[in-house]
Amino acid sequence: MTSPTPDPDDAPRTFLLRRGDSGPRVAALRDVLVRAGAADAAADGPAAEVFDEALERVVRAVQQERGLRADGVVGRHTSRALDGARWRLGDRVLRHVPGHLLHGEDVAELQGRLLALGLLDDRRDGRLGPRTEAGVRELQRSTGVAVDGVVGPRTLEALRGLDRSVVGGDPSALRDVERTAQARRRATGRVVVLDPAHGGPESGATGHGLREADVVLDLAQRVEGRLQAAGTTAVLTRGAAQNPTSEERAALAADVAADVVLVLHADALTPPGRDHDAPPPPSPASGVATFSWGTARSRSTEGARLAGLVQRELVVRTGLADCGSHTWDSDVLRLTAMPAVRVEVGYLTSPDDAALLADPAARDRVAEALVAAVHRFFLVADEDVPTGVLTVVPPPA
């Protein structure tokens, strides 16, 4: 797919590094990349301070390897991943600090070991949250180590002593499948959280007279009506005036015991330095893409399955270009325990996509595609139907 502009949620513009930038920050980026294992990022002399095409290729490769959006731009998500990549289990003492969660490859390795031992009921996301701390405490209780939730030398020694392999697949993937199976067995009571991006004063992407926040809220409301008509509870994370944080959106999904989460976005391809008040130039980027949670070490198997269903239904029912289904370690996807999919429903800077998204009838088709994908997600294999043929119940007039 054509690489889009960085997500506005990633970071302020001053935090970004991209091709064409230069200076000490670029040299520091090269050092971080080398420490993270990307030896091709090294350069000597004045070239070390230049973000050139070769460095962009290295950044894209690292992003792809780590389940990030491979746009070649170093924003908040990429910087966080690079910072965490330099740690190995045992390099530092690990402890849960509310509001300042440790993250890194060492945390992901710890989580993998706890999952294999049956001491963790969460995914391996590389962040030391309360569930990981609970797993550490259970490990300490079972091995006679002081129960403080801190991973120091004695806890690491106990962990190595219990190390064993588990046959039968990835424990977190198996839990994903079982969670979906439980929801499938319920004839009623399924809950879908609809998360329209941005909101309040934050418009998100813009183009051809459309604001991302308005488009995705309207789509969420159309999906809500159709889900409710079919007997599924739909919960929106915001209204027009609100802009919750990623943590608040994920917490709402947990509070209502959602079965799936749909995160709705629209994209834009904006040249660097363009005046945002000026009309967008013709954009080479168009189409729909979907993302489920994943990193180099782990992924949401059921999220990936739902993302594939959403992608196929949208392409068939709307005619939008197929930009594929991918994994991504974005905030809301990572913070939700249930299958979650981020949907980029088109590029507002594309004349064709913008014209489609401005049409109420086309928005109805987008909503029907999303609802059809959710319904198919809960069908057993021999009940599934071909893409594009499932009838969606319209909302009440």
Average pLDDT (174-182) is: 70
Fold for the domain defined by 105-167: Muramoyl-pentapeptide Carboxypeptidase; domain 1 (1.10.101)
Asked if residue 12 has pLDDT above 50, the reply is no
Average pLDDT (178-196) is: 81
- Residue 309, SS3? helix
Average pLDDT (50-72) is: 87
Cβ-based burial of 259 (10 A; exposed 0-12, middle 13-18, buried ≥19): buried
Residue closest to 223 by CA, chosen among 393, 56, 355: 393
Fold for the domain defined by 13-85: Muramoyl-pentapeptide Carboxypeptidase; domain 1 (1.10.101)
Question: How confident is the model over 304-354, as pLDDT tens digits?
Answer: 999 999 999 999 999 999 999 998 888 899 889 899 999 999 999 999 999
CATH 3.40.630.40 for the 173-383 domain, yes or no: yes
Question: How confident is the model over 125-147, as pLDDT tens digits?
Answer: 788 999 999 999 999 998 889 99
Domain with CATH 1.10.101.10 in the chain: 13-85, 105-167
The residue type at 80: R
Per-residue pLDDT at 56:
94
**């990936």: which residue's tokens?**
304
Q: What is the DSSP letter of 394?
A: P
| Cα 315 to Cα 20: distance, rounded to the nearest angstrom | 35
| Cα 125 to Cα 181: distance, rounded to the nearest angstrom | 23
Question: How confident is the model over 69-98, as pLDDT tens digits?
Answer: 788 999 888 888 888 887 889 999 999 998
Helix H or strand E encompassing 194: strand 191-196
- DSSP assignment string, 378-389: TS-GGG---TT-
Largest CA distance in the chain: 68
Domain with CATH 3.40.630.40 in the chain: 173-383
Question: How confident is the model over 189-213, as pLDDT tens digits?
Answer: 899 999 999 999 999 999 999 999 9
State if pTM tops 0.85. Answer: no
